Structure formats: structure tokens, C-alpha cells
Amino acid sequence: MMKHALTGQLLIASPQMDDPRFANSVILICEHDADSAMGLIINQKTDDLDLDELATQLDIGTPKCNGDVPIHYGGPVEKSRGIVLHSTDHMIPESITIGHVAAMTANIRIISEIAGGQGPSEFIIALGHAGWSAGQLEREIKDNCWITMPYAHDLVFSCLSRNQWQDCYSRLGIATEHMSASIGHA
């Protein structure tokens, strides 16, 4: 697999995913190379944390806007580390582009700017991320744990969708209820 082959792609958990941390998850792959892969789950919100509460915890003041925006569960690695996945219309020096599709920033400044209404137009604030060691993600894809699909901006930053996981499969033309639990290899 060539370097950065999956960067900017969506990773969709198979219906048979047996790891409860990733069941029905959609992940944007933020970095992928020969040594590792890193991504953010984009469709799992935390149960009881929104930007208002996070701003209080971070001591950045009461948000002027976006206070009711939910905080996402980005993955099981470094669960207390905040990462903002966002559109590229607002970047700070610490922002890293993800292919040509989006950016991510792990700096409290961008959260403060979002709370003040000065941040990117589209964003997901997540705690934690998903990570794979060299070859691990490729093995999981080969073992049918994941399906990949090209980046779809509307699916990543969708405010209207209640089920991004199902929407990804629908866009691929796959009916999940008809998928076999024992997919083979040709």
C-alpha cells in the first residue's frame, strides 16, 4: 500500500464489527503511512458533554456561540486529548491539513476561537482518537472489519444526519441487513 493511501478516506465499520468501541462507527483517516494510521470517529457523540461544559473545564470562559454543540468521542487512544476536525477556512499555525479535504488542530486556541464565534465554519470537537500500528489497519481491512470510501464532506460535517454509518453504506449502495457475517476472500 502506498504512503498516505488512506489519508482523507472514510473508514466504515462492518456490521459484524465485534469491538464495541468501534461498532457502527465512521472514522476519517487523518494520517496513514507505513508506520501507523490515525483517525477520528466522526459519528459518536459523548453522552453528557457539550462545548459549554468543555469551555468551563478548560477555563476559557462561557461560549458566545456554539455552546450546545456536542463533543464527540474520537476514539479510545488519549481519551482526554481534544482534537478539532474542521474545514480549512480557518487555520492556525498548529493546524494540519488532511489531504485536501479538511484539517485537524489539537490546540486549545481553536476551541476558544470556536466558542467565540471566530473559528472554522464547520467543525467536530472530539476527545481521543483511533490509532493503528504498522500494518494493523491493513490487516483489519483485509479481515473485513472495515470498508473504505472516498471522503464525502456532507457525511463528515453533516448536522442533519442522525445515522452517518447507515448513510455511508447507503451511498455505497450496500444494504447492511443483507451482508453476510462470514465474508470470504476471493
b/e burial code for range 167-180 (CB count within 10 A of at least 16 → b): bbbeeeeeeeeeee
In a domain, 105, yes or no: yes
Question: 3-class SS at 64?
Answer: coil
* Inter-CA distances, 170 with 9, 12, 113, 149, 163, Å: 17, 12, 35, 12, 11
In a domain, 126, yes or no: yes
CATH code at position 60: 3.40.1740.10
- The total domain count for the chain is 1
In a domain, 61, yes or no: yes
In a domain, 168, yes or no: yes
Crossing angle, helix 108-115 and helix 51-58, to 10 degrees?
A: 130
Looking from the CA of 92 toward its CB, the CA atoms found within 13 Å total 18
Spacing of C-alpha 43 from chain mean position = 7
| Parent domain of 55 | 10-178
pLDDT in single tens digits along all 186 residues of the chain: 444 689 999 999 999 999 999 999 999 999 999 999 999 999 999 988 999 999 999 999 888 888 899 999 999 999 999 999 999 999 999 999 998 889 999 999 999 999 999 999 999 999 999 999 999 999 999 999 999 999 999 999 876 567 899 999 999 999 887 776 555 444
